[in-house]
Amino acid sequence: APRDEEVLKQTYTNDGIQVDNIYFDNTVSLNVRTDEKKIYGDAIKKLLYAKAIPSSFLSQAVFVDLDYNKADKEGLHFNAVFAIPDEKLSYIVDTVITPTGKVVLKQEE
Contact present, 21 and 3 (Cβ < 8 Å): no
Residues 6+ apart with CB under 8 A from 38: 31, 32, 101
Position 2 scores a pLDDT of 45
Position 19 scores a pLDDT of 80
Question: Exposure string (b/e) for 6-15, b if CB count within 10 Å is 16 or more?
Answer: ebebeeeeee
Position 14 scores a pLDDT of 85
Residues with pLDDT less than 70, the chain: 1-6, 8, 108-109
Position 7 scores a pLDDT of 72
Cα–Cα dist 94/96, whole Å = 6
Position 109 scores a pLDDT of 53
Position 15 scores a pLDDT of 86
Q: How many CB atoms lie within 10 A of CB 80?
A: 23
Cα–Cα dist 51/42, whole Å = 19
